[in-house]
Amino acid sequence: MDNKYGTSDGYTSPQTPESIAEEMRTCLTAPRYLDGFECFCIVVWPLPDGVSDPTNMPRRSQGLTDYIQCGGSTRAMSVEIRATHQDGSYQHWAVAREPIADPDKWVSIEWEGPLGSFAIHVHPEEAFTGEQAAPVFRDYIAGGALPPSELLRPLDI
């Protein structure tokens, strides 16, 4: 754990996709955990094919390029997903709860990190509570499922 930068890596055995999804649900919905100050983001990477023990995964593995993440707090967060294509290119999306009603309307989600204040600008439909984000994380973690395409806004990152 790195308290200065808010990162931690930890593995417990046994782990299943369902147990990880349940742990993420708890983290996403716990106001004292994802508070937007001490903890302001969660990132989950899938294990690459053929890797059963995360401690044996190379640090620069293909598995580290695909992820689901959120930033903010249990009250207001953005959710993003990144997926790598067979040719090595990738797609990065902002996720929405429902289709974007007004593409010109934006809201800010703010949090305090160790290096200062941060804000991300998303459409109102892309602002989630922890309760709203938990099923998106569950579907991705337990089933490898992306949200429907009308809920994915490509990001040029």
| CA 107/CA 122 separation, integer angstroms | 6
The CA-CA-CA angle for residues 64, 65, 71, to 5°, reads 90
User: Looking at per-residue confidence, does 82 or 47 come out higher?
Assistant: 82
The model's pLDDT over 109-118, given as tens digits with 9 standing for 90+, comes to 999 888 889 9
| pLDDT of 98 higher than 90 | yes
The model's pLDDT over 128-154, given as tens digits with 9 standing for 90+, comes to 999 999 999 999 999 999 999 999 999
The CA-CA-CA angle for residues 124, 127, 128, to 5°, reads 140
**Which of 40-49, 71-80, 136-145, 147-156 shows the lowest per-residue confidence on average (mean pLDDT)?**
40-49
On average, the pLDDT of the chain sits at 87
Average pLDDT over residues 98-120: 93
| pLDDT of 10 higher than 70 | no
| pLDDT of 32 higher than 70 | yes
- Tokens 């989630």 label which residue? 128
Write down the pLDDT at residue 27: 94
Q: What is the dihedral of CA 15, 45, 80, 91, to 10 degrees?
A: -140
Q: What is the pTM of this model?
A: 0.85
| CA 54/CA 14 separation, integer angstroms | 11
